Structure 1
Amino acid sequence: MFTGKNSAADASQIKLTVTAKTRASNDVVALTLARPDGRRLPDWTPGSHVDVVLPSGISRQYSLCGDRWDAHSYRIAVLHETEGRGGSAYIHEQLTEGTMIALGGPRNNFPLVPSEKYLFIAGGIGITPMLPMLQQADMLGADWKLLYLGRSRATMAFLDELSAYGDRVSVMPKDESGPCRLEEFSGGDAADTKVYVCGPQRMLTAVERHCADWPVGLLRLEHFAAKAQGAPARDTAFEVELARAGLSVTVSPDLSILDALHNAGVHVLTSCREGTCGTCEVTVLAGEPDHRDSLLGDADRAAGHCMFPCVSRSCSDRLVLDL
């Protein structure tokens, strides 16, 4: 899974070499990445993603989809986006084995929480964060099943790997199975099931609608792109106080909090600038955030302890941030 915007280099990035480039489906390639000196890589957990900075300087976020117990290599998979802005086209058409790239992270906004029963639903390239989740759930002996949707088998990545799980995996290409009926797959009793979903927005919307009356906390989504948002809570300026810096910044209606901070010389690490990657998360010490991201769940929004200043704003006249 990915989202992406241009991003400045981050001092915490590491340099990795593309050690293998293989085809996972007609329009998906898998990249294996490792340190040139063979040293171990940072540990990660299922659901994690990394920031990949291409030689052109463009940054994109991709889910880690390899073996989390392999300490010396990462694997990502990249869908060729024909209507994209060039990142996936470069990876598919120009990036070669031996190329050096920069990488930031890993970060996890889609963690696998403990449960005795899981339902995983993946659409297209949304299978990537699910692969290590399946491995983890299987290793722990959980009761799980996967519904994998796609246009056709030729476009669906990693089918060979998934075949090892037998009938726990339901592969439903649209050209063979037609539209999927979620109610037939998920069953009626969801009280003890954690549901993880990643894929196109239309699929996420359908799942949210289907699970609308399920208990809070059972459904967990990862978005390809930012969710549609209504108008901000206020259309007037507000103050952002930086507790550690002893500085107060006025945020006008035409500026994001992030841009207002940057204009004042306060640089917060960011990547997607659309509330999907989680890079710019900050702690809120006082005030009421107007959450406009695609990451936080209802409980975290209500608590108001953190926010993403690239897109979120303020309901109150003043916000105090731990910066």
Structure 2
Amino acid sequence: MLNPADRWVWDFWHVQDGSTHHLFYLQAPRSLGDPHLRHRNATIGHATSKDLVNWTELGTVLRPGGPDAPDATATWTGCVVRADDGQWRMFYTGARFLSPGADGNVEVILVAVSDDLHHWRKDSSVVVRADERWYETLGSSSWPEEAWRDPWVYRGDDGQWHMLVTARARHGDIDGRGVIGHATSDDLHTWNVHPPLTAPGQGFAHLEVVQRVTVGERSMVLFSAHSAVISPDRITAGGRTGVWIAPWKNTIDLSEAQNVGASDLYSGRIVSTSDGPRLLGFLLDTDGATPLGISDPEGFDRATIASGSEWTPTSF
């Protein structure tokens, strides 16, 4: 478990290079006192491990930019992929709050480049933004932020790079606009933004920390949602704060989305290992707001998923 005494750590992303697991994670000093303040003070830390249990922290790899930078306030959740040229690309969220006392902020996707996963340099030429043709932007509704964060990048069967993004549609009920945004690229540099892969009105104001996963022959999407952004209907049906999973057939079917893993686990990631897929997340205190560190890995199989859905008992 990764839980430093002097910092809160929460959202994270993983990449493996040889036998070494690299974990990148959001961190903020506990000296802030109020855990809610961590979001405006987030930097990106780095740790390595051989077993996903015992971690060696290696310090901070990315910090916010200058006052006018798109990551002026904080560096938020991302992912790491290896490009065709052998370099590593970290796609991460840049957050810029418009004023110290207000919630209004603009989120964009930025990138940093590394030769060794240890030393990173920002590439300011790559900025992926919400496209107002399909996505809610700041000021277009009463929602206080321009949500465009938590990128998950992968190579598709079509040979293109695909990016999944936490986003909000520009239409629909204000509390149900959460969608999975989508962009594609041939070279990880120039990105084309497309309509969302899910429709609004599915019972979420946000679908956070999205990951596309394949277990056996089943493709799925993993995401997290807090009770504050889950519709009353889903809450009544048993939905709760935590990690969620939904099948990805030809399309992502959020009507079948359900919780997976423990109720105190958030921002889950599935990591492939020689012993099969493992689920990690960060642990939440009983207040639902204070992070208690990044969990040890749990086995991920049919028993992990709550019963009650048509597809889960025979999915794997």
TM-based fold match above 0.5: no
Give TM-score scaled by structure 1 length: 0.29
Higher normalized contact order (CA 8 Å, seq sep 6+, divided by chain length): 1
Q: Per residue, is there more helix in 1 or in 2?
A: 1
Give TM-score scaled by structure 2 length: 0.30
Q: Per residue, is there more strand in 1 or in 2?
A: 2
Larger Rg over CA atoms: 1
